Amino acid sequence: MLRVTLELIGEGGVANVSNRNVARAAGVSLGALTYHFDSQATLLRESLDLFITEETERLAVLTNQLTTATVSEEQAALALEAMLGQEPERRVAKLELYLQATRDPTLREAALRCFSAYDALAASALSALGLANPQQIAPIMVAIIDGLQLRRLASGEDHLRIAEPLTTMLGAIKAQAQSDPGQPPATNPH
């Protein structure tokens, strides 16, 4: 039932999650659904928690692969692109989690766990690239990737790869770090 709920979120957003839709798609009776989940809020929370648990496990594997690695800008960009995952429904579910967490404070812990896992993967990729302060840059990279993901989904251009622009950006960050070691990359507030 939880996986079906995630699929429904991916197909039509949180508004697509009704007891009838979930029961029908899961092949269970409405009574069985309401027996296990006393409210739609509980169903939604538990399904998004399942997504975050699986997503953090997937990201931990990717992060561990980078722990002792040394990578090029292109390899780091490909590792960062792997944050997106393969299934468009899961990408939409993640964005729905973020939006729903703005309305439901009980989801914020799950959203923070998700951000933490993405930050850890980004920091590992940046560290493997040889940058001195990857934790400072990681949340910015995650935000850029989330923004590019949103753009891909909203525009229907899901085929667009993000590794190429990330490679260029990582090359510039690495060049700046090498020219001024110990300093985080400069940011333009405007």
DSSP conformation class of 133: -
User: Which of 114, 130, 1, 25 has the alpha carbon at shortest distance from 72?
Assistant: 130
pLDDT tens for residues 104-128?
Answer: 888 888 889 889 999 999 999 999 9
Taking residues 164-175, report their average pLDDT: 89
> 31 lies in a domain?
no
| First-residue to last-residue Cα distance in the chain | 46
Domain that holds residue 126: 45-179
The predicted pLDDT at position 2 comes to 93
Task: Examine residue 131 and state whether it is found in any structural domain, yes or no.
Answer: yes
Cα–Cα dist 104/161, whole Å: 32
Total of domains in the chain: 1
Give the pLDDT score at 35: 93
For residues 105 and 166, the answer to whether their CB atoms sit within 8 Å is no
- Give the residue from 89, 66, 87, 68 showing the smallest Cα distance to 78: 66
Residue in the block written with tokens 């995650």: 142
Position 134 in a domain: yes
**What's the pLDDT score for residue 186?**
45
pLDDT at 96: 83
Q: What are the pLDDT digits (tens) for 20-42?
A: 999 999 999 999 999 999 988 88
Q: Is 145 within a domain?
A: yes
Residue 190: pLDDT over 50: no
Find the CATH number of the domain harbouring 102: 1.10.357.10
CA 171/CA 179 separation, integer angstroms: 12
